[in-house]
Structure 1
């Protein structure tokens, strides 16, 4: 059975001028097209190939050898490529961007920003994204009080706090009293577990007390790195004015914080700037 929204191994049934028709190897009448430009050279009928199934601009099932950034049922932080009358469109690594309908948005999204979404099929069997991921997350995360975690803010309630998807999988919450005023949906956060509730959900603390083992300036640099895909174009030769503007700290404070992060092997310095280890 050919399944939409998944990478699967299919069999080439026949090759035509417009591409190869693929089946699951059992029902040879149920086929999907792999466009000619994506058919590997020297392919023949009977060969197997890994492809992702989705719908093209005319809502026809089609396959691609490109690997998407998200598959059905998964979570991923995707960048908003465009905003139209029907909703936002996200870059998920394929030619046709992924629709995030307005009624599936928990906040008004902004072009160029990343937002955590889940991939699902709508009533018309079309692939769409949703930001309404609260009921999809799990409890009983493998963390204890004091552990550091990373996750994405996926919703903000001004009376409760910022909801965080830990590891894009588990429930987390930064209480409103601990949340920064400029925290936003789509932001990647680094926080410490301060409480494990009876229901298994984790309360997180990114405040100064939680960062006791990591000085404030080092935390600021790590946060900027997380927001910039693990790279920042700054080093000890960068003008002090730019350091102050970007990090709100003096150049000497910046150099001390970088030195501590280097010692702890959290970052590395290259000719281009700072890179986060394990990014």
Structure 2
């Protein structure tokens, strides 16, 4: 049976003036309008389409790709507002996606962007958006492991950092001190699981996982050190903001990087800062 809100590989059963009719299984025949028919599509063949409902609530197929499918999150722009119904969001298809009043998480204006999840309204069997998606995330304890690479969506700011959604399924947090470079609501970024707390909550980090991340960070420290004469007044007790401004990394990443460089005998660490070992040796 064709899945509403998902990409489907469906068989063409007949051709008519409006377009091709596809076999939707228990959902019956689904129209693929003529303007979306891909080259080479024939009766008996298969086409990959996204299935949703048109403005008259009829099932329809399209070869266009929405910005998010059922169960996925996206950062969508408000294209229209109906005070009695909700707001309409641009999501890459001809028909805008409705964000009903009951699913809004606060007032929005025309042109604003909002993080939403595409969900199925079981009462109407229509796809809608929800900005109140926390209750729709997986409530079971997550089965990730520390260092696992994940896809992150920045959902909202927090006094501690940013709240993110992991793989469209679980909530997590990245602390201000672990943020590398600019980060804003709506960003989709690669990251990894830094820690799994006893209560199941996830601490996250950006970039590559584990030791694969230390190498590039170490190279960055060496690059900055070399460009600035081989010595800099930054160390374990430097402010996180200073580290981020100079090296473009979190303080934790900086400490890991200089630790690795010290073990490789490439730098010297003292209470006043760090120095290239060649520079230190040359002064002796």
TM-score normalised to the size of structure 2? 0.59
CA RMSD in angstroms comes to 4.0
When residues 191 and 210 of structure 1 are mapped into structure 2, their CA distance, relative to the original with a 3 A threshold, is farther
Q: 1:184 deviation in Å?
A: 7.7
- Map 1:1-279 → 2, pairs under 5 A: 1-24=1-24, 30-85=28-83, 86-122=85-121, 123-138=123-138, 139-143=142-146, 151-155=152-156, 163-173=163-173, 186=186, 196-203=196-203, 215-216=244-245
2 CA distance for matches of 1:32 and 1:98? 20
Could you tell me which runs of 5 or more consecutive residues in structure 1 were left unpaired when the two chains were aligned.
221-279
1 CA distance for matches of 2:241 and 2:150? 15
Q: 1:193 deviation in Å?
A: 7.5
Q: CA contact under 8 A between 2:105 and 2:132: conserved in structure 1?
A: yes
When residues 198 and 212 of structure 1 are mapped into structure 2, their CA distance, relative to the original with a 3 A threshold, is farther
When residues 174 and 111 of structure 1 are mapped into structure 2, their CA distance, relative to the original with a 3 A threshold, is farther
Q: 1:50 deviation in Å?
A: 0.7
1:125-159 CA-to-partner distances (Å, cap 9, x unmatched) read 01001122223435354445xx998744435678x
1 CA distance for matches of 2:111 and 2:162? 21
Structure number with bigger Rg: 2
Q: CA contact under 8 A between 1:192 and 1:210: conserved in structure 2?
A: no
When residues 194 and 66 of structure 1 are mapped into structure 2, their CA distance, relative to the original with a 3 A threshold, is closer
Could you tell me which runs of 5 or more consecutive residues in structure 2 were left unpaired when the two chains were aligned.
207-236, 250-284
Count matched residues. Answer: 211
1 CA distance for matches of 2:91 and 2:133? 18
Q: 1:102 deviation in Å?
A: 1.8
When residues 34 and 132 of structure 1 are mapped into structure 2, their CA distance, relative to the original with a 3 A threshold, is same
